[in-house]
Structure 1
Amino acid sequence: MSETSKLTLPIVDMALKNDEFRQVVWTGEKAQLVLMAIPEGGEIGGEVHEGHDQLLYFVSGQGRAKIGDVEYDVAKGDVSMVPSGSFHNFTNTGSGMLKLYTTYSPPEHAPGTEHETKAEADAE
């Protein structure tokens, strides 16, 4: 049985091992689970998801979150909540990768989506 066909996953370990910018792990009818890794000095990129709430769970590294007009630092153990329609961006401000897993409700990306880099994600 593959990791993505299980309904219980070691998600923190998976996020720590992940080096891809985006990897969709699981997609249901109303929610989606995605791994992300942001390189030093990199960012997710400012965006707005209309009709999608997003939660981002940080498992290693340090970053800066901007949600709406508010900015603050994020690190291992933090979770950021992004309500539908809110501008947001997350930047890696530390050394090494900023690693996290995130959920979208409802799903945002096609099932099985993988982007090794942000440039690859932007091109798609």
Structure 2
Amino acid sequence: MPGATRRNSDRGAAGPSPRCGRARRRASGAGSRPDPLTEPPPAGAAERRPGDPGHDEHRPVADSGPLDIEVDLHQPRTADLAALIPGIARTGRAVTFTAENMTAAYGLLQLLALLTYVGP
């Protein structure tokens, strides 16, 4: 019937529509992938390439003093707003600041990201 809509009650005991690939895979069982949260990966699936560092080989980066950061902003309006924050200097579309450590720098970068959402 042209223009007719199909309701869930029209399906009856047949289950989901055959167009739904997920339902077809579950019903047939063919081609299904293991659940990564409950089943271990197949043998050899998690092998590292030679020369790739492992998790235990990475060390934290030690910052050595103040960080000078310059951020180029897309909108001059955002640079205007950022220039109102103490310690931030505007140079054209870019703003510069000096942070004591990476934690302070990250906080100011988050603030700059939030300023991009401030409307006129």
* TM tier relative to shorter chain: under 0.3
Whose RCO is larger (CA < 8 A, sep 6+)? 1
Q: Which has the larger radius of gyration?
A: 2
**Higher helix proportion, which one?**
2
Question: Structure 2 length as normaliser, TM-score?
Answer: 0.24
Question: Structure 1 length as normaliser, TM-score?
Answer: 0.24
